[in-house]
Structure 1
């Protein structure tokens, strides 16, 4: 099934479109039941996972590949592929760019011949820290704000240029690999924790959910992130609590319950230990920033 640039633009919800003109389109994708059956595009597609992993399949390979936030995929026009979220909580950004846009970039920045030579089949490359920052900024602002829409267009353009630069200077990743599989698993665990931050997530539960031994999931997560699963869960609780403290008037005890803690004092202890700030400190600072 052909999913042309125009079809994608016409059938996508406005809330999913980050940037669009005649020559390119940037779409947010994902969701708990994300699955796109076999299809092809009339333009180049770059897929950048932000949360969770994607099961990527294409007609040039017999096996599926894991694509996590540590990699991005470049899919040439006319090549059939399908994508599915491994588990709930996934989201990604897909940039579709026409030959006309690539020609315009080439006219400004120089020949893309070295890039084009690497794009005969779907290819995976490592995501750089700068690309992850741009990806986060692209998705951080209010989708309905006109000024933010203009800014996002520039951010998407910068992200596309960064992707092209990484394609030119980087070596394609050999997929699938043990390292990529581990990255994808950790990405999935992180997405699962973020989606279920208020739950008590025991190591036994996570091991069973992801089909791993308790020892394996513990070691893998620490090797890839430098922290324990429990510490990461606490960090997600603090992030969610800070957002609620800064944007609502909910009592501290209610916020504690919403992030899976027994009491406001438990939240205060956790926040003091992690950042040296109490919930009231965080709320006061957030309010002072808005005045």
Structure 2
């Protein structure tokens, strides 16, 4: 059963830059059931928090104990309840507009890696130049989405190697970045090319190169449907020439 929750609107606060930052050092912190009209990243800097939330799909509640090096990312309109589990605490709340997430939300509770934790500490630092906050927030979201942060809850299944690969390709295409080559991606994921090859054959029945080519071709057709020329699409996707893209499109069927 969904508990009664009040709306705490934050989306308007994100309008100037796509995000809004709040932090609290209130002792014995307790915020009863509420929801926001945007996504929220919550993480303790010191002390601990206990957060409960409602899974909108199953209408069940979940809860997690958060401490230093852990966080939770909740989608918009998720009813949640947070209270301090230690007498003293300090935590950050990062409210994120949809255009900042761009579908990259790896929602749930997870353990932060060293890089993400350092960026979050920098984000709430009084010494941070305000002009640096926007690219820093984008880097934090990207770091979480790429999957370098490990799920904290035992019932949150970790993505397979093949899923991590596809997610990485998708993120690059979504953000108009160079799609990594298979050997570079294998290194990034901490596996050999042979391991990545086996994982893709078992999961998708295709090689990593074939999957990369299919995703590039699909994205190219989407861009051309939106009105971009072959040359413009080729440039955006990082091809050496439009001829290379043309050959790919002829080789890869719809």
TM-score scaled by length of structure 1: 0.44
Q: Which has the higher helix share?
A: 1
Q: Which has the higher strand share?
A: 2
